[in-house]
């Protein structure tokens, strides 16, 4: 039996780093939402073992792939030991990759979440939603968000999630500058003196705003990691400046980089911006996407 699943990307509309933890990770305060840009995940059940294939040269097809790790973790965590992937209960996963790897859009985490949710359905929900999110956290800080299924305020390392009722819909012009940013290096290079965290994170008015029935995020976009990423990878900053000149509006980085986005309330303006950049950067290695917020 085969099934096809849409594996959506995400953006961090804003991302504040609130503190460094004793375990070496960082506490965050972030607004995250899925966007329409997605990979296709094709799962074939009833196989012997676990296998991964992907059409992107930079995505591993072995045990290091997050989708593989998700399947392996699911099987080893099952309370029913008789469900063994090597005895006809395994899966073959094919990933049709559209989300740029290493771009801060959560593609690998989204793929892993899709595999966890798919296997949980297949075996009649042996794990509750909360249990599945706890499993996902073992794979990466963004995986619980993709299992959560709603725009959310994320705190902790990203695992503490509060549902946001409704975001005002926006279209995005999204750019992959053609490079991958190393998350660990971006955090290590960060200068805490330059963050705006105290101003916003301690502002309870922002929390109230985000809990309203419809939240306009136009003026909330921000990323504490942007300056660090741009200093390590000048191409990000250069691409950001080029986008802002071409689109006539502010551009922001998502996650730890390297992908950049601009928000548009009107689809026709977003389409014009997308077409302008696509023509400008044709053949340069920069990839441009037209996308939109996904509410559920």
Regarding pTM above 0.85, the answer is yes
Q: Identify the active-site residue in 10, 69, 97, 122.
A: 10
Quote the CA–CA distance of 25 and 39 in Å, as a whole number: 28
DSSP conformation class of 168:
P
Beta bridge partner(s), residue 51: 92
Per-residue pLDDT of the chain (296 residues; tens, 9 = 90+): 789 999 999 999 999 998 888 787 888 999 999 999 999 999 999 999 999 999 999 999 999 999 999 999 999 999 877 788 888 899 999 999 999 998 999 999 999 999 999 999 999 999 999 999 999 999 999 999 999 989 999 999 888 999 987 889 999 999 999 988 998 899 889 876 555 444 555 444 456 566 666 778 888 999 999 999 999 999 999 999 999 999 999 999 999 989 999 999 999 999 999 999 999 999 999 999 999 998 76
Does residue 10 carry a catalytic annotation? yes
Domains and CATH numbers, the chain: 2-163 (3.30.230.10), 171-294 (3.30.70.890)
Q: State residue 32 phi and psi, 5-degree precision.
A: -120, 140
Tokens of 126: 């042996």
Q: Identify the active-site residue in 142, 176, 224, 286.
A: 142
Q: Give the contacts of 224 (CB within 8 A, at least 6 positions apart).
A: 15, 16, 17, 190, 195, 196, 197
Does residue 97 carry a catalytic annotation? no
Residues 113 and 70 sit within 8 Å (Cβ to Cβ): yes
Residues 4 and 38 sit within 8 Å (Cβ to Cβ): no
Residues in the chain: 296
According to DSSP H, which parts of 31-157 are helical?
A: 66-77, 107-122, 129-139, 143-148
Report the SS3 class of residue 230. helix
């Amino acid at each position: 039996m085969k099934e096809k699943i849409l594996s959506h990307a995400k953006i961090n509309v804003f991302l504040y780093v609130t503190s460094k933890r004793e375990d070496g990770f960082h506490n965050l305060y972030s607004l995250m939402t899925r966007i329409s840009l997605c990979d296709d995940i094709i799962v074939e059940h009833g196989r012997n073992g676990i296998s991964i294939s992907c059409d992107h040269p930079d995505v591993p097809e072995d045990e290091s792939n997050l989708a593989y790790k998700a399947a392996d973790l699911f099987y080893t965590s099952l309370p029913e030991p008789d469900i063994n992937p090597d005895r006809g209960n395994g899966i073959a996963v094919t990933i049709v990759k559209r989300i740029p790897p290493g771009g801060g859009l959560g593609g690998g985490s989204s793929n892993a979440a899709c595999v966890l949710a798919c296997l949980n359905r297949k075996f009649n929900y042996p794990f509750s939603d909360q249990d599945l999110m706890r499993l996902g956290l073992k794979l990466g800080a963004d995986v619980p968000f993709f299992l959560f299924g709603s725009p959310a305020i994320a705190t902790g390392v990203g695992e503490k999630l509060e549902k946001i009722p409704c975001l005002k819909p926006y279209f995005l012009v999204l750019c992959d500058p053609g490079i991958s940013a190393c998350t660990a290096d971006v955090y290590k290079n960060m200068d805490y003196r330059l963050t705006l965290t105290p101003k916003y994170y301690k502002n309870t008015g922002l929390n109230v705003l985000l809990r309203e029935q419809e939240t306009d995020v136009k003026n909330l976009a921000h990323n504490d990691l942007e300056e660090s990423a741009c200093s390590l990878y000048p191409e990000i900053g250069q691409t950001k400046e080029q986008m802002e000149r071409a689109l006539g509006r502010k551009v922001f980085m998502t996650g730890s980089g390297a992908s950049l986005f601009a928000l548009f309330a009107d689809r026709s303006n977003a389409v014009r911006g997308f077409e302008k950049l696509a023509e400008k950067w044709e053949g340069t290695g920069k990839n441009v996407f037209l996308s939109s917020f996904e509410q559920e």
